[in-house]
Amino acid sequence: MELEAYAKENHVPIMDPLGMEFVQQMIRLKEPVRILEIGTAIGYSAIQMAYSNPDVHITTIERDEDRYNEARRNIARAQLEKRITIIQGDALEVSDTVKVHGPFDMLFIDAAKGQYQRFFETYKPMLEDNGFILSDNVLFKGYVANHSADGSNTAKIASKIRSYNDWLLAHPQFKTTIMPIGDGIALSVKR
């Protein structure tokens, strides 16, 4: 509850509670041992994922230095430093550092919405054959369904997410289902 309040007060985007519960349930069902999260923010999702299964280890990437430092404090307060490894840097630039922590059973994408496809392509080679990928915010508050071309930042992001969803649904190596849970979660499983 403390992290949710902090996020709300400081305008830090964290997962919708229903979406987070879905992610936790997937972890309970599939029992991944190694998870890669792209987009740590303040550590909320990584901590919740760690609580879902005592055997899971999470490697998480955060670009913003302030959020990285806040996440480190929150992970330490939760006494999860041994199970959550946080890497500071741009996810598109630190793949060599991340690779030593893999391969991964689960990839969780929740960062710069316009980069989802690049994140997916960069890290899918690090995914185990029985692994799966979750992408958050794929419905983007309903804007993805609205084909507005008003030039606003929101419309541009929605357009990029819509393109990502189309690309993902047509991906020959993955079977994807988009769940209308939280802000929309795409579940992609290797074919």
Amino acid at 3: L
Please report, in range form, the residues annotated as the binding site for S-adenosyl-L-methionine: 15, 45, 62, 90-91, 110
- Angstrom distance (rounded) from CA 141 to CA 100: 35
**How crowded is residue 164: how many other Cβ atoms within 10 Å of its Cβ?**
23
Strand bridging mode 127-136 / 185-190 = antiparallel
Please report, in range form, the residues annotated as the binding site: 15, 45, 62, 90-91, 110, 136-137
Exposed / middle / buried, residue 119 (Cβ in 10 Å: 0-12, 13-18, 19+) = buried
Residue 58 and residue 49 in contact, taking contact as beta carbons nearer than 8 Å: yes
Q: Which of 176, 133, 183 lies closest to 157, judged by CA?
A: 183
3-state SS, residue 81:
coil
Exposed / middle / buried, residue 188 (Cβ in 10 Å: 0-12, 13-18, 19+) = buried
Please report, in range form, the residues annotated as the binding site for Mg(2+): 110, 136-137
